[in-house]
Amino acid sequence: MGTLGTILLVEDDVDLHEVTKAFLELEGFEVASAFNGQQALDALLGGLKPNLILLDLMMPVMNGYVFLSIFTAHQPPFGTSVVILSAAADVTETAKKFDVPFVKKPLDITLLAKLIKR
């Protein structure tokens, strides 16, 4: 079957990144990888047009918060929705602030699947 879409996965932990990517690919998505906010921005500016961005918050170089502020400042040119995927304690406030949905770690696959289907 063809891909259901492209997801940009922004997560710095190598293992977690690997396993999330494996899961998403299993479900039939194409996954682009970024290990920090800077890489994610570079990918987007380089022409990548993902349907969804799964964003971790705690990353080096450029963390999720900074990425979000830059990203939301440039909507709608990117035309993508963002879902925050984080274990950070202040996820709820950040999500509200930027008006994006979020999923807490550890990840519940069914919840993620539902969100992605949207």
Partner 1 sequence: MEKSKLLTISSKTLPNDRTRFNRGLLAAGGAAYLAWWFVVESLLPGSFNPLFGRLVVVSLFFLVLILSYLSAVVRSHIGTCFSACAWIVTLHYFYLFHNNHSDVNWTIGSYIIVIALCACLESTLLLRYYVLFVTGLSLLIGLFDPVVVKTVFLSGMLTILAFAYFGMTAKLKLLKQVGEQALGLQNLFDAVFEGVVIHDQGVVIDTNQSFDKMFGYGQGEARGKLVTEFASPQAQAIVRENIGANSEMPYEAEGKRKDGFCFPIEIRGKRHFFRGKNLRIAAIRDVTEEKKVEQVRVLLNASREAIKIHDEFVLVASHELKTPLSAIKMQTQIVKRKIQKGGANAPDLESVEKVAEFIERQVDKLIRLTVDMVDVSKISLGKLDMQVSLLNFSMLAEETAKGLSEALAEAGSQLTIEMRPGVFVEGDSFRLEQVIVNLLVNSLKYGSGKPVRISLTGRDQDAVLEVEDLGIGLAKTDQARVFQRFERAVSSRDISGLGLGLFICKYIVEAHHGKIEVVSELGKGARFSVKIPIAHTSDVQDGDVRHNTTS
The footprint of partner 1 (CB under 8 A) covers 12-16, 18-20, 22-23, 26-27, 57-61, 63, 65, 87-89, 105-107, 109
The token duo for 87 is 């274990």
DSSP state of 90: T
Angle at 111 between CA 65 and CA 118, to 5 degrees: 80
Closest approach, Cβ 76 to partner 1, in A, equals 27
In the complex with partner 1, the residue whose CB is nearer, 5 or 60, is: 60
Closest approach, Cβ 11 to partner 1, in A, equals 9
Which helix or strand (DSSP H or E) is residue 111 part of? Answer: helix 109-117
Closest approach, Cβ 82 to partner 1, in A, equals 17
